[in-house]
């Protein structure tokens, strides 16, 4: 892998990780179109770490508040909006741990075809449109059961083309969250999810050692992190006004392009 491939793939990962358009679909496309070799597990891990650093840095203040609120609840019994949100993040992060661990090899072997990615891009794009279009204007508090439902929805993102952010935002909208609340909760539960995915990839690397190009990995972390941070800030600034329709339209166009690549 050369520097150009590293920059392009890291940029694609950073931009698409937190937008509801599926990073997996976009990471596969450049290789198919340009004939690039597979970037390998080490680079996949690097760009995921870059995305993880971005969301940790962006939400560093809120994360500190959530951790302190959990600590106060455990030590003094004091409950607050922050402690309830913290527990909801934990609850929503639980389902994907066993499901992701048990299904990762099947998904890698059977569900990375262009046909699957095209179908999930279209189907879950329509689901996002429906959730946004028919959502209630009055926001409802997120309960533990609602958080668990978002966590179950997140498991569908293990299928390439679904979009982790897209499917969690869809479920949060269906459960009565505002556009901004749905996006923020999706970003927060991305932290344990991306961290877990990166840890699994690191585990796989130790069992399938290969030559590592450290310069490309550092480029991947830096470019993915910077672009992911910019996307988080931009989406939270505009989503309440523009809604999710632009992303739905983009997914429809992308899904059709993928279908045309098959025939």
Residue 78 and residue 72: Cα distance in Å, rounded?
Answer: 6
Q: In the structure, what pLDDT confidence band is assigned to residue 141 with cuts at 50, 70 and 90?
A: confident
162, 22 Cβ separation under 8 angstroms: yes
* Tens of pLDDT, residues 60-74: 999 999 999 999 999
pLDDT at residue 17 greater than cutoff 70: yes
Q: What is the pLDDT of residue 29?
A: 74
**What domain range includes position 227?**
3-262
Q: What is the pLDDT of residue 68?
A: 96
* Tens of pLDDT, residues 153-184: 999 998 988 999 999 999 999 999 999 999 99
Which of 217, 221, 225, 227 minimizes the C-alpha distance to 3? Answer: 217
Residue 263 and residue 256: Cα distance in Å, rounded?
Answer: 11
Which of 140, 139, 138, 143 minimizes the C-alpha distance to 84? Answer: 143
Residue 257 and residue 255: Cα distance in Å, rounded?
Answer: 5
Q: At what angle do helices 40-58 and 3-17 cross, to 10 degrees?
A: 40
16, 22 Cβ separation under 8 angstroms: yes
Which of 210, 257, 247 minimizes the C-alpha distance to 18? Answer: 247
- Cα–Cα–Cα angle for 101, 19, 168, rounded to 5 degrees: 50
**At a CB cut-off of 8 Å and minimum separation 6, what does 218 contact?**
46
pTM of the model: 0.91
Per the structure, how many domains does the chain have? Answer: 1
Q: In the structure, what pLDDT confidence band is assigned to residue 258 with cuts at 50, 70 and 90?
A: confident
Residue 78 and residue 6: Cα distance in Å, rounded?
Answer: 48
Q: What is the pLDDT of residue 173?
A: 96
Q: How far from the centroid of its chain's Cα atoms is residue 206's Cα?
A: 24
């Amino acid at each position: 892998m050369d520097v150009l491939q590293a920059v392009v793939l890291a940029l694609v990962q950073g931009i698409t990780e937190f937008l509801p358009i599926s990073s997996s679909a976009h990471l596969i496309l450049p290789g198919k179109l340009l004939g690039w070799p597979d970037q390998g597990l080490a680079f996949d891990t690097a760009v995921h770490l870059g995305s993880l650093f971005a969301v940790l840095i962006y939400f560093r203040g809120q994360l500190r508040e959530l951790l302190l609120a959990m600590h106060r609840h455990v030590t003094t019994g004091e409950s607050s909006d922050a402690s309830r949100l913290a527990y909801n993040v934990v609850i929503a992060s639980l389902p994907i741990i066993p499901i992701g661990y048990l299904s990762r090899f099947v998904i890698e072997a059977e569900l990375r075809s262009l046909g699957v990615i095209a179908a999930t891009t279209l189907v879950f794009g329509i689901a996002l449109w429906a959730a946004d279009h028919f959502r209630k204007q009055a926001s409802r508090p997120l309960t533990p059961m609602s958080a668990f439902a978002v966590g179950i929805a997140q498991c569908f993102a293990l299928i390439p083309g679904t979009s982790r952010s897209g499917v969690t935002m869809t479920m949060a909208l269906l459960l009565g969250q505002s556009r901004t609340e749905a996006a923020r909760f999706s970003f927060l539960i991305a932290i344990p999810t991306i961290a877990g995915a990166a840890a699994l990839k690191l585990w796989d690397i130790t069992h399938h050692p290969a030559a590592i190009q450290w310069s490309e990995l550092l480029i991947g972390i830096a470019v993915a992190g910077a672009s992911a941070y910019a996307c988080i800030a931009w989406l939270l600034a505009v989503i309440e006004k523009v809604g999710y329709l632009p992303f739905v339209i983009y997914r429809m166009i992308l899904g059709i392009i993928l279908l045309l690549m098959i025939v």
